[in-house]
Chains A and B, each alone.
Chain A
Amino acid sequence: MPEQFIAPSIDWFALSPYLVMVAGALGLLVVGALTPRWPRGLYSLVSALTATSAGVLAVFIWNDVAEMGPGTLVGGALSHDAFAQFVTIAVCAATALVALVTDAEVRGTVLEGPEIHALLLTAATGAMVMGASNDLIVLFLGLETLSLALYVLAASERTAAGQEAGMKYFILGGLASAVFLYGIALLYGGARSTNLGEIVARFQSTVALERNDSLVLAGLALLIVGLGFKVAAAPFHVWSPDVYQGAPTHVTAFMASVGKAAAFAAMLRVLVIALPFHRDDWRPVIWVLAIASLVIGSTLAVVQTDVKRMLAFSSVSHAGFLLVGVEAAGHRAGEQISGDGLESVLVYLALYSVLVVGTFSIVAVVSRHAGGSTDISVFAGLGRRRPVLALALTILLLAQAGVPLTSGFVAKWGVIQSAVAERSYAIAIIAMVSAVIAAFLYLRIMVSAWLADPSEVEPEPVPAMTGVAIALAAAVTLVVGVYPELLLGWTDAVSNFAR
Chain B
Amino acid sequence: MELIVFVLASAMVLSGAIGVVLFRNPVHAALGLVLTLFGVAVHFVSMEAHFLAAVQVIVYAGAIVVLFLFVIMLLGVDRAEDLTIEPLKLQRPVAIVLGAGVTVLVAGAVVRGADTLGRETNASAPGDSNIRALARSLYSDHVLAFELTSVLLIVAVAGTVVLTRRLKKSEG
Contacts and interface: CB of A to CB of B under 8 A. Distances in A.
Bound pair (A, B):
yes
Interface of A: 5-8, 22, 25-26, 29, 37, 73-78, 108-112, 115-116, 118-119, 122-123, 125-126, 129, 135, 137-138, 141-142, 144-145, 148-149, 151-153, 155-156, 158, 182, 186, 189-190, 192, 211-218, 222
Contacts of A73: 144
A212 B113 contact: yes
Interface string B60-90: 0000000000000000000000000000000
B109 interface: yes
Contact of B154 (A29, A158, A216): A29
DSSP majority for the A interface?
helix
B170 A109 contact: yes
A113 to B, nearest CB: 8
B165 A110 contact: yes
Contacts of A186: 106, 109-110
Contacts of A26: 154
B162 A119 contact: yes
Interface string B155-168: 11111011101110
A137 B145 contact: yes
A158 to B, nearest CB: 7
Contacts of A25: 154, 158
Interface stretch (B3-11, B35-43, B115-123): B115-123
A215 B115 CA distance: 10
A108 B167 CA distance: 11
A434 to B, nearest CB: 28
A319 to B, nearest CB: 23
Given A5-B136, A152-B159, A186-B109, 7 more contacts: A29-B154, A29-B157, A111-B162, A115-B162, A126-B155, A141-B145, A214-B109
Given A7-B139, A145-B155, A129 B109 contact: no
DSSP majority for the B interface?
helix
A122 B155 contact: yes
Given A148-B156, A186-B106, A189-B113, A6 B140 contact: yes
11 contacts: A5-B136, A22-B151, A25-B154, A75-B142, A119-B159, A122-B155, A141-B152, A145-B151, A152-B162, A189-B113, A189-B116
Contacts of B163: 152, 155-156
B55 interface: no
Contact of A218 (B105, B140, B144, B154): B105
Contact of B142 (A77, A192, A214): A77
Given A112-B170, A137-B142, A118 B158 contact: yes
Contacts of A116: 158, 162
A211 B155 CA distance: 42
Contacts of A217: 109
Interface in B87-104: none
B141 A110 contact: no
Contacts of A76: 141
B39 to A, nearest CB: 18
Nearest to A26: B154
Contacts of B112: 212, 214
Nearest to B160: A152
A144 B152 contact: yes
Contact of B144 (A37, A78, A112, A145): A78
A74 B144 contact: yes
A190 B155 contact: no
A190 to B, nearest CB: 6
A155 B152 CA distance: 18
Contacts of B158: 25, 29, 115-116, 118-119, 122, 149, 152
Contacts of A123: 155
B155 A148 contact: yes
Contacts of B139: 5, 7
Interface string B124-142: 0000000000001001111
Contacts of B144: 73-75, 77-78, 135, 138
Given A189-B113, A212-B113, A148 B152 contact: yes
Contact of B169 (A22, A110, A152): A110
A125 B170 contact: no
Given A214-B109, A215-B117, A217-B109, A149 B170 contact: no
A71 to B, nearest CB: 15
B162 A213 contact: no
Pairs A-B, 9 closest by C-beta atoms? A218-B109, A152-B159, A215-B113, A77-B144, A214-B113, A214-B112, A141-B148, A74-B144, A118-B158
